[in-house]
């Protein structure tokens, strides 16, 4: 027993040396554009390499090795941009730790993902989520701005950037609860009188959207 324990203790330094390094410890791989330019120069050194799409793009900020103090959000629609590189700072880094949990709940982004309500804070793990009809909340200090989104996707990057792409989005204070309840009643009536699968599907979609709208306004 003691002999086996000594063998296990001797193995620990070896296992630690074989431990997989973090992604932040690895050297950055050369970009595809730099690789292409290098290959072009070797073949045709007397001619400038052509421009690629990557040469016209601004590089993404590097992924920080520690939790960042702010979350940068882009919220776009097919016809408009609701938030463009909006930065939400996390004041917890300037306060004593005892206030951390009470402050964090005021500086976040809540999106209606198909898997449930998802809160996004600075330093959130990289995630791609599909949006369902529901309320998207932007918490900035004591102010909360709410949007109703019909569908879309949210892309949360490892460098504390979040891109929200929605098909339709309307500020919650612009919606009329009476019109929403009227639409819900109309689609409920259509579903009960539907005879084809297409009519049933269209009516059910209308019910789902108006039910989400009604819950957002009355709940």
Q: What is the pLDDT of residues 186-201, one digit of tens each?
A: 999 999 998 899 999 9
Band of pLDDT at residue 16, cut at 50, 70 and 90: very low
Task: Indicate if 87 and 122 belong to the same structural domain.
Answer: yes
Asked whether the beta carbons of 136 and 113 are under 8 A apart, the reply is no
Domain stop point among 173, 195, 210? 173
Band of pLDDT at residue 213, cut at 50, 70 and 90: confident
Tokens describing residue 89: 């700072």
Tokens describing residue 184: 């819900």
Count other Cβ atoms within 10 Å, centred on residue 169: 20
pLDDT of residue 107 exceeding 90, the answer is no
Q: At what angle do helices 197-218 and 177-193 cross, to 10 degrees?
A: 150
* Domain boundaries, position 119: 62-173
Task: Indicate if 134 and 152 belong to the same structural domain.
Answer: yes
Q: What is the mean pLDDT of residues 138-143?
A: 80
Domain stop point among 8, 35, 59? 59
Q: Is residue 139 part of a domain?
A: yes
Task: Indicate if 110 and 186 belong to the same structural domain.
Answer: no
pLDDT of residue 155 exceeding 50, the answer is yes
As a whole number of angstroms, the distance between CA 111 and CA 82 comes to 15
**Per-residue pLDDT at 187:** 93
Task: Indicate if 71 and 126 belong to the same structural domain.
Answer: yes
pLDDT of residue 125 exceeding 50, the answer is yes
Task: Indicate if 74 and 155 belong to the same structural domain.
Answer: yes
As a whole number of angstroms, the distance between CA 24 and CA 65 comes to 6
Task: Indicate if 83 and 145 belong to the same structural domain.
Answer: yes
Q: What is the mean pLDDT of residues 2-27?
A: 47
pLDDT of residue 216 exceeding 50, the answer is yes
**What percentage of the chain carries pLDDT values higher than 90?**
15
As a whole number of angstroms, the distance between CA 107 and CA 160 comes to 14
**Per-residue pLDDT at 154:** 92
CATH code for the domain of 152: 2.60.15.10
More confident residue, 202 or 55: 202
Asked whether the beta carbons of 101 and 108 are under 8 A apart, the reply is no
Domain count, the chain: 3
Q: What is the mean pLDDT of residues 83-110?
A: 49
As a whole number of angstroms, the distance between CA 21 and CA 131 comes to 34
DSSP 118-179: EEE-TTPPPEEEEE-SEEEEEEETTEEEEEEE-SEEEEE-TTSEEEEEES-EEEGGG--HHH
Tokens describing residue 162: 């979040």
For residue 62, give Cα distances in angstroms to 69, 89, 145.
14, 18, 29
Whether the pTM exceeds 0.75: the reply is: no
Q: What is the mean pLDDT of residues 135-162?
A: 86
Task: Indicate if 149 and 90 belong to the same structural domain.
Answer: yes
Task: Indicate if 53 and 131 belong to the same structural domain.
Answer: no
Task: Indicate if 73 and 166 belong to the same structural domain.
Answer: yes
Band of pLDDT at residue 182, cut at 50, 70 and 90: very high
Band of pLDDT at residue 151, cut at 50, 70 and 90: confident
Q: Is residue 70 part of a domain?
A: yes
More confident residue, 122 or 80: 122
């Amino acid at each position: 027993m003691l002999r086996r324990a000594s063998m296990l203790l001797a193995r620990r330094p070896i296992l630690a040396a074989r431990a997989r390094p973090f992604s932040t410890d690895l050297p950055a791989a050369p970009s595809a554009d730099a690789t292409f330019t290098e290959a072009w120069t070797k073949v045709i050194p007397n001619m400038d390499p052509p421009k690629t799409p990557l040469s016209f793009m601004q590089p993404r900020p590097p992924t920080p090795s520690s939790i960042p103090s702010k979350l940068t959000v882009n919220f776009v629609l097919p016809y408009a941009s609701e938030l463009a590189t909006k930065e939400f700072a996390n004041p917890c880094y300037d306060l004593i730790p005892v206030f951390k949990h009470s402050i964090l709940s005021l500086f976040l982004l809540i999106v209606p993902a198909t898997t449930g309500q998802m809160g996004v804070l600075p330093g959130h793990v990289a995630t791609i989520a599909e949006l369902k009809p529901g309320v998207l909340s932007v918490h900035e200090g004591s102010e909360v701005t709410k949007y109703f989104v019909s569908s879309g996707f949210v892309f949360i990057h490892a460098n504390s950037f979040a891109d929200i792409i929605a098909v339709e989005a309307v500020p919650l204070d612009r919606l009329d609860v009476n019109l929403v309840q009227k639409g819900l009643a109309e689609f409920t009536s259509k579903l009960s009188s539907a005879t084809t699968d297409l009519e049933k599907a269209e009516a059910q979609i209308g019910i789902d959207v108006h039910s989400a709208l009604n819950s957002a306004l009355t709940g």
